[in-house]
Copies of this chain bind each other. A is one copy, B any other.
């Protein structure tokens, strides 16, 4: 009998509760008969109508000091007190599993180190891609590969908004309002639409793939607020779509190049068909080539199902640390922002002659807006693209193209 605690009874926490109650048979098959018993739910709020009121506590120490509890799911979100609680639990020799991407991206290095020292586990499958299996498959199944590249649609809210623009011709503002009405976007949507959520997730994936801590503060991050309906129409005319991509590339020198940016994706990429609130992560390994993981990147039960799988794994590996791990490096591991070239899709009110003079070879796109020119450049570094577009008069749009 493994006794576990849920810390935080919000959307994900209540989902974990439901799964432990409803899929108990299935779970005990996975743990080879060992039953998982929920002993505590930690929350400062009252849930008077809950069927098991005796499980609730407002005092974290009840869980921390209970020797019977071997695993806790931290599904509180936010940095504090999630960090303090997680750290205390790991130091007490209890495993912690989490869906808290902010915490993993910020304090993951330290928490993984503590877990390793105590021979317990800190698992975070649900922190990236919600219910999509990605952390464990990347770590285990692709272990024979040197990971060369990761490109992911990591934020369902922005993907829903872009999809509404692409499929239903809505403006960004209308699509955002629609997403808010449907509960897909927060009242304050900045974390999603400005790319910060995707940034934390690609930082976690890049850390995992490289074994080295990638600080999300070091990742150039651009959201989708500047993407217009006209951009989307141009992309469609180019047999492409615009997606917010969390991107990381791993050099042979051990350096990591990473960026979050809206990109033009051709329709022959498997990422192009990822619609609505779905997420997908395309991973390129030196042996396996491209593999992609696809599914619901958020939501109560999808996310809770990943948290619960982590609980099961922690129960099966109690008192044995698995090697999901990365370490902080003494030197800067981030590659220069100009180390990687992209082609750019550019719209401008400048004329073709000027464009050719500045950019040299480029591929013009039939213009959909009278008076402007649209074209795709040859591969350029970030700085080159900036310098050259600065020479144009009146740039409307500048978007990276994913090749």
Is the CB–CB distance between A141 and B136 below 8 Å?
yes
A295 touches B290 (CB 8 A): yes
Is A169 located at the chain interface by the 8 A CB criterion? no
Chain A, residues 259-275, CB within 8 Å of chain B (1/0): the string is 00000000010101111
Which of A19-27, A83-91, A348-356 is near enough to bind chain B? A19-27
Tell me the interface secondary structure of chain A in the complex.
Answer: mixed
- Residues of B contacting A144 with CB < 8 Å? 19, 23, 26-27, 30, 304-306, 308-309, 312
The verdict on A217 contacting chain B, using a C-beta distance below 8 Å, is: no
Chain A 102-157 residues near chain B, CB threshold 8 A: 125, 131-133, 136-137, 140-146
Q: How far is the CB of A396 from chain B (nearest CB, A)?
A: 30
Q: Number of copies of this chain in the oligomer?
A: 2
| Residues of A in contact, count (CB < 8 Å) | 52
Question: Residue of B at shortest CB range from A294?
Answer: B292
Does A291 make an interface contact (CB < 8 A)? yes
From A47-55, A175-183, A197-205, A280-288, the one touching the partner chain is: A280-288
Closest Cβ of chain B to A253, distance in Å, is 14
Known interface pairs A140-B136, A294-B292, A296-B290; A23-B323 also in contact (CB < 8 Å): no
Q: Please, which residues of chain B bring their CB within 8 A of the CB of A360?
A: none
Q: Which residue of B lies closest to A322 (CB)?
A: B316
Can you report 14 residue pairs joining A to B where beta carbons are below 8 Å apart? A23-B144, A26-B144, A26-B146, A27-B144, A133-B140, A133-B293, A141-B306, A142-B305, A143-B312, A144-B304, A285-B305, A289-B299, A291-B295, A292-B294
